[in-house]
Amino acid sequence: MSRYLTAQEHDEIWLEAKQHCPPATSIDRVETIYSASSSLGSVYFREIELYPGLELCIQHATHYENLIVQSLENEHLVQFQVWLSGVADAGDHMSIDAEQSYIGGSGIQPSHQCFYSKAQPVIGVNIHMQPHLLSQFFAAPTGELPAELQPLVQGDDWQRRFSPKTTGEMRSVVKQMIDCPFLGAAKRLYLQGKVFELMGLQLNVIMEGHIASLTASLKPDTATRIHYAAEILRSQLEHPPSQLELAQQVGIGHCTLHKGFRSLFGMTPFAYLTQQRMERAERLLREPGATVAEVANRVGYANAAQFAAAFKRQFKITPSDCIRGRKAASRKNFQKQNLGVMV
């Protein structure tokens, strides 16, 4: 027998529990510690902001009963999760336990129901990252995000989700994060390294498995032409060819162009073009003397208002905020990371 809750009902229970037990700060002032109990269970979280827009949560949560939580459609950050124990099952949407981890890309996450088992406590780590940091941390020497990471940045399209098998190496890194022996700046630096190590291990499974299966349906010659088409778009952001012209330039049909972009990059050619424009714009806006109108023109927008709207959808801040040096808005909240809502 499972207890059913809407997202609103679930949030209200934990918000009330949080009010009775306010968060504490660790002795080295690096972690924010949450500990609370409610009719649903008990939770203990250690939350660390490792970098603006990069947050680690070390979690230990116990359910008093099996739960089914209805999550609403929402905008989603890039997320990495690895558990040492616990079970959450949302069918085709997501499943995570001690044997299977989770990666959720940014974009729009559909509404779904998720089952949480009371059989085992949830012990593991949860990493949230603003999507623009993928390019900042993992860009190729050309400044572009590698093709294998493109599916994790969907803008205002539906997010992509992956379930890499949890390996012994991943479990070892998670244990090292939980048992971090350092304090202060050394702790932050140590955990930064472990977060990137864990992300690398998870992404490696995807690169070897899931993405390889996506490209397998394309002939090698077709895949080469799709990569050439992507290069054309990246080099002509200001005046890109139409999709029909692009298909003709690389010698394939319009339908093959769409299928190839979805297979290799997880998005349509138009979505890929928009993403590349926004990433280029973000870099240009941070240059001294940049103006919104100038940057909009340089990435192919004649209308500065349309450019500003697209930029805000991608980074959650306006171009003017970017010029002033603000980071993309961080969505930190207790509900997002507690035992009942995992994404």
Local confidence band at 216 (pLDDT 50, 70, 90 cut-offs)? low
* Average of per-residue pLDDT across 1-19: 88
**CA–CA distance, 159 with 238 (Å, rounded to integer):** 27
Select from 3.40.50.300, 1.10.10.60, 1.10.3720.10, 2.40.50.140 the CATH code of 217-323: 1.10.10.60
Higher model confidence: residue 325 or residue 38?
38
- The per-residue pLDDT for 335 is 38
pLDDT given for residue 228 in this prediction: 95
Residue 305 has pLDDT above 80, yes or no: yes
Least confident of 6-20, 79-93, 136-150, 173-187: 136-150
Are 38 and 28 contacting, i.e. CB atoms less than 8 angstroms apart? no
Percent of the chain with pLDDT over 90: 57
Average of per-residue pLDDT across 241-257: 91
- Residue 334's pLDDT is 37
Q: Give the model's pLDDT for residue 27.
A: 94
Query: Which residues are within 8 A (CB) of 242 and not within 5 positions of it... i.e. 6 or more apart?
Result: none
Mean pLDDT of the chain: 87
Instruction: State the pLDDT at residue 205.
Output: 83
Instruction: Look at residue 340 in the predicted model and tell me its pLDDT.
Output: 43
Residue-level pLDDT at 339: 43
**What DSSP character marks residue 72?**
P
Flag whether pLDDT at 330 surpasses 50. no
For 138-167, what is each residue's pLDDT tens digit? 887 767 787 778 889 988 788 989 989 999
Nearest to 269 by CA among 261, 280, 277, 278: 261
pLDDT, residue 20, reads: 87
Instruction: Indicate whether 331 pLDDT > 60.
Output: no
Q: Which sequence spans correspond to the domains of the chain? A: 3-211+330-337, 217-323
- Digit-coded pLDDT (tens) for 188-202: 999 999 999 999 999
* Per-residue H/E/C for 195-238: HHHHHHHHHHHHHHCHHHHHHHCCCHHHHHHHHHHHHHHHHCCC
